[in-house]
């Protein structure tokens, strides 16, 4: 005699309550509300500047997503392509820093690692003579290796000596900036016939191809960023190393007791973290600039910290946060036409950082309940058992 267990259908109302229960207690609601509050605070400062709030934000939208004032659909979406171009290095560097944060490593050296990646890609780009795809691939690998070794050294020091990675990476940022200026004033890198601090041009075979023709400036760097996002997701969620990385980040002592080599995980994590930042540097020289300059890294290394935190150190979240910050950069110039200084973008970013660093403040402002650890399915199961 066989017995069968019938599964009772879950009422729609229970599903809705379960979804809301999980949503309001998730980390993502904090990131979303941080952005909303940032725009509200920005509106207050725009009002103080005696400018139109609606016109300012409308200009930000037109400069970053869609500009109906231009002729032709392609020209109207050119703003969106600029957002993608600006977002690519932020996504790559954000993925690198977020990976370190997941392992409990505060990699503040993204700026220096971007510079080292740019140096490696530039040297390969103007030195080698290879066919197109091979030259581009070798230049990208050069950026990954140079930056990865630079960051892996920090991981090695952390694992072997207990050196504080925050202090070491900050010091290495200064060293990288000085190294960049030195190389650009050296005959090995400096462009002939000019007194500017600018490297020799990178060969066309090593450049990232443009996705759309001129006047569009969008290149394949955004494709590299998408592939890197998929890779980091797979690394964290589907690989043995990703499991060890997350375990070490949660509790290094317990991981050591369980037989994991925490020193190896720390070293390799810093290598991969820095390698992704190096790809951001390669994106700049191989795609955007075409040569190495003193401002190749801009503020990407520091903005990427905010991108990683806003994205909750999750690949898809970092990707979306990178797009948001890319939109800020693309829309800022047009926003100035409303009489608002470009520093308004810095205010928005700073407020986001402040709020992300203080989740209890957002929960208090909006009266959001604290997380209770229940998943969607667990909530439904508990509701059914209660009946």
Q: What are the extents of the domains in the chain? A: 83-335
Cα–Cα dist 152/134, whole Å = 26
Which option is the CATH number for 83-335: 1.10.3470, 1.10.10, 2.30.30, 2.40.160?
Answer: 1.10.3470
- pLDDT digit string (tens) for the chain, length 387 residues: 444 445 567 777 777 788 887 888 888 888 888 899 999 999 998 898 888 899 999 999 999 999 998 888 888 999 999 999 999 999 999 999 999 999 999 999 999 999 999 999 999 999 999 998 999 999 999 999 999 999 999 999 999 999 999 999 999 999 999 999 999 999 889 988 777 889 999 999 999 999 988 889 999 999 999 999 999 999 999 999 999 999 999 998 899 888 899 999 999 999 999 999 999 999 999 999 999 999 999 999 999 999 999 999 999 999 999 999 999 999 988 888 777 887 888 888 888 888 887 888 888 888 888 877 777 777 777 776 666
Burial letters for 163-190: b for 16+ Cβ neighbours within 10 Å, e otherwise? Answer: eebeebbeebbeebeeebeebbeeeebb
Cα–Cα dist 190/187, whole Å = 5
DSSP per-residue letters across 253-269:
HHHHHTT--HHHHHHHH
Q: What are phi and psi of 210, to 5 degrees?
A: -80, 135
Largest separation between any pair of C-alpha atoms in the chain: 93
Exposed, middle or buried by CB within 10 Å (0-12, 13-18, 19+), for 246? middle
SS3 121: helix
Cα–Cα dist 317/298, whole Å = 23
At 297-327, the pLDDT tens digits run 999 999 999 999 999 999 999 999 999 999 9
Q: What are phi and psi of 65, to 5 degrees?
A: -130, -60
Cα–Cα dist 10/114, whole Å = 51
Cα–Cα dist 23/7, whole Å = 26
At 263-295, the pLDDT tens digits run 999 999 999 999 999 999 999 999 999 999 999
């Amino acid at each position: 005699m066989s017995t069968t267990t019938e599964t009772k259908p879950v009422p729609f109302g229970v599903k809705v309550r379960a979804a809301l229960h999980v949503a309001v207690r998730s980390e993502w609601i904090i990131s979303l509300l941080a952005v909303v509050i940032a725009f509200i605070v920005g509106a207050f400062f725009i009002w103080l500047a005696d400018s139109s709030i609606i016109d300012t934000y409308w200009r930000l939208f037109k400069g970053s997503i869609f500009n109906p004032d231009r002729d032709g659909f392609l020209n109207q979406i050119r703003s969106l392509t600029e957002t993608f171009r600006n977002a690519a290095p932020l996504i790559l560097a954000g993925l690198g820093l977020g990976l370190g944060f997941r392992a409990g490593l505060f990699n503040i050296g993204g700026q220096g690692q971007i510079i080292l990646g740019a140096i490696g890609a530039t040297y390969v780009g103007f030195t080698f003579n290879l066919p197109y795809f091979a030259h581009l691939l070798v230049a990208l690998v050069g950026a990954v290796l140079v930056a990865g070794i630079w960051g892996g050294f920090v991981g090695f020091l952390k694992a072997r000596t207990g050196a504080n990675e925050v202090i070491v990476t900050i010091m290495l940022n200064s060293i990288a900036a000085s190294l960049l200026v030195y190389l650009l004033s050296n005959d090995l890198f400096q462009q002939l016939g000019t007194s500017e601090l600018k490297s020799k041009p990178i060969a066309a075979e090593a450049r990232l191809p443009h996705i759309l023709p001129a006047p569009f400036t969008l290149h394949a760097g955004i494709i590299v960023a998408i592939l890197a996002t998929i890779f980091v997701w797979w690394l964290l969620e589907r690989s043995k190393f990703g499991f060890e990385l997350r375990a070490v980040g949660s509790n290094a002592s317990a991981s050591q007791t369980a037989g994991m080599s925490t020193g190896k995980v720390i070293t390799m994590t810093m290598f991969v973290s820095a390698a992704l930042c190096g790809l951001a540097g390669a994106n700049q020289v191989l795609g955007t600039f075409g040569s190495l300059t003193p401002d190749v890294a801009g503020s990407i290394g520091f903005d990427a910290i905010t991108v990683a935190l806003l994205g909750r150190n999750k690949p898809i979240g970092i990707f979306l946060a990178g797009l948001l910050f890319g939109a800020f950069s693309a829309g800022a110039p047009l926003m100035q036409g409303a009489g608002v200084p470009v520093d308004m973008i810095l205010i928005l970013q700073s407020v986001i950082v402040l709020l992300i660093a203080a989740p209890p403040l957002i929960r208090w402002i909006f009266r959001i309940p604290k997380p209770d650890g229940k998943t969607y399915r667990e909530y439904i199961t508990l509701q059914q058992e209660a009946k």
